[in-house]
Chains A and B, each alone.
Chain A
């Protein structure tokens, strides 16, 4: 009986399934199947399309755990996120606070300018920036020399101690505009009556922000950080275009490492091992995001309690 009514409900909703079919087929082929397949491939010793595959169990994972290149890339990836996320979020908050002023007539122009890098092709921007930061004739070094701020050119991308942070700086510049928009959305949820009341009470700008803006915008802040964190782990186009992981692997983040193993290997591509690294990394990201999402929920709940149960 139950089966029969279920079947009836499915049949009645047949058009719903037909309408979902194109999206589902595409998503199964290019999102869900690759998800499962990368698990399977990670158990193989496999060097390319036409070569033999050999099932090796957990050997790839065992190798990854003791692979210094992987752990270095892993640590660098999170160091990169640890620098770029606060950088992006902080700068964008300051700019959003300035641009949120309705009396500022040119704010749409400013907003457009700050958002512009976001819409441009990351890989191409990376190449342009590698020219801009070039130590020999790049405009940044030329300007710094001209102003007398430095004596000799800085090799932003050629110095292994500096390259990752140069890329991080470009990353912040490239993606700041998105967080800025998020902050503007958040700031506009603050009722303007509150500001007016505070002004009438004679509160200064700083105190207004501290006691009105910050508490009301907090729930958004957590979501913005979460989105920023997930984004900061996906750095392949920028890094590959700016440095290709060099010099001396100093900018080799996990995605770049996976690409090198699978598609740009010096000797033989290692698709199985690359998959194992990808799965390992993906799981680590998932665990971290879930932990953060749990934190978001906790923060939201405690805030609701603080406000006396109001949403």
Chain B
């Protein structure tokens, strides 16, 4: 765990994807039958696996009486007003935009700062480097609940509790060890000639990073964005604690959670609010699933 991962994210497509071509066709016929059996068993398992999500979407389009009465997933008549009720009356609209703002800002801050940090750790020598690495690795095993009370106090003392900035900074301020090492590993394997050429062209430290190195790190940036996006969009404890006294700053996770406390019986509204909250992250995941998987896989390769 302590070594800096030499991630292979440069080619996200090849590593977990097809290697079928390299395999000779051993016992073709048996493998066909096997494939059929496996597929027939796995398909219903998969359906059960995502059933909670299918049920959620289905319930969000039904009336409450229909949710309670029917086992079918397809609504008799589609009830779009559940969404309107959740969006306007349960304030999911403002919570949605709060979440978007917090996520975009935190992801931008985290990606840029960890890229800079990773660049320095991956390519530069400086006194104190070991200390910095050890300090960051040590935070890997820190439970979240451990630090929430001082964070709560700090945000209040800094006067940030009245705006989304408190949440944004607290989300950005976790020691993002995995991402830092991801960048460090990536930058380290770039050839030294790049920096030398940049220096000969008269570029300083900042321009070398900004115009030569950072553009080369696009795969690492993509992974970092996805990992932090997943973390911030889904974050719960920090926004919950920081918005206890300020309901108008709630994010979706906190908003839907409080919705449940306030409207226990409005199942269709709750399902609609949940669907609104999960849809963006699920859509992004389905569009970029390969990069999600590679990002997660990078953590264990180290």
Contact = CB atoms under 8 A, between A and B. Distances in A.
A41 B150 contact: yes
A178 B109 CA distance: 25
Contact of A124 (B209, B256, B297): B256
A234 B143 contact: yes
Given A123-B253, A127-B270, A102 B16 contact: no
B301 A255 contact: no
Interface string B41-84: 01000100111110110010000000111010000000000000
B88 interface: no
Interface stretch (A28-36, A59-67, A158-166, A207-215): A28-36
A275 B153 CA distance: 12
Given A22-B113, A30-B173, A241 B297 contact: no
Contact of A38 (B20, B124, B150, B237): B150
Interface residues of B, number: 107
Nearest to A102: B20
Contact of A233 (B34, B117, B143, B244): B143
Interface in B251-302: 252-254, 256-257, 260, 267, 270-271, 274, 277-278, 281-282, 285-286, 289, 292-293, 296-297, 299-301
A184 B16 contact: yes
Given A124-B278, A132-B52, A227-B300, A104 B145 contact: no
B56 A128 contact: yes
Contact of A17 (B49, B109, B126, B176): B126
Given A98-B42, A143-B71, A20 B116 contact: yes
Contacts of A38: 146-147, 149-150
Nearest to A199: B26
A137 B67 contact: yes
A112 B11 CA distance: 19
Interface stretch (A82-90, A281-289, A302-310): A281-289
Interface string A45-61: 00001000000000000
Nearest to B276: A124
A105 B26 contact: no
B211 interface: no
Contacts of B253: 121-124, 237
B1 interface: yes
B146 A124 contact: no
A131 interface: yes
A199 B126 CA distance: 53
B193 interface: no
Contacts of B240: 240
Given A113-B50, A116-B50, A121 B300 contact: no
A34 B148 CA distance: 8
A121 B278 contact: yes
Contacts of A80: none
B176 to A, nearest CB: 8
Contacts of B52: 125, 128-129, 132
Interface of A: 6, 9-10, 13, 15-17, 19-20, 22-24, 26-27, 29-35, 37-38, 41, 49, 98, 101-106, 108-125, 127-132, 136-137, 139, 142-143, 146, 173, 178, 181-182, 184-186, 188, 192, 196, 199, 220, 223-224, 226-227, 230, 233-234, 236-237, 240-241, 254-255, 258-259, 262-263, 271, 274-275, 278-279, 281-282, 285-286, 289, 293
